[in-house]
Amino acid sequence: MNNAPAPKALWDLRPGEAAMVTGFDDGLSVAYQGRVMEFGFQPGARVQCLLNPGFGAPRVYSISNSVFSLDKEIAAAVFVLASDTAEALS
């Protein structure tokens, strides 16, 4: 039996919630993966949701001392573990 916590999508973070990037959905093209990684969304990086304006609008995230807004298509393809879970695994 595997009790390891399952990653969730970055899009699912609520404002104020922090997590650690774990990887990307296979459906996200290599070009997009590279671009998102250039922004700092690398496996192991800590990310925090700053704003969820609602109505499907892009959400705002803080990572690597920078702030980015990502639309659902991209944020749903970035996998994260909640900070408390990530810290427990360290």
Q: Give the pLDDT score at 56.
A: 84
Q: Give the tens place of pLDDT for each residue, 63-83.
A: 999 999 999 999 999 999 987
Q: Please name the residues in contact with 6: beta carbons below 8 A apart, sequence gap of 6 or more.
A: none
**What does the chain come to in residues?**
90
Which structure tokens are listed for 54? Answer: 């609602």
Q: Give the pLDDT score at 89.
A: 42
Residues of the domain holding 60: 8-89
* Alpha carbon distance 9, 81 (integer Å): 9
Q: How many structural domains compose the chain?
A: 1
The reply to whether 3 falls in a domain is no
| pLDDT average, residue stretch 38-56 | 95
Q: For residue 21, is it left (φ>0), alpha (ψ between -120 and 50) or beta?
A: beta
Model confidence, pTM = 0.86
Which structure tokens are listed for 1? Answer: 């039996």
Asked if 77 contacts 61 with a C-beta cutoff of 8 angstroms, the reply is no
The reply to whether 1 falls in a domain is no
Q: Give the tens place of pLDDT for each residue, 15-41.
A: 999 999 999 999 999 999 999 999 999
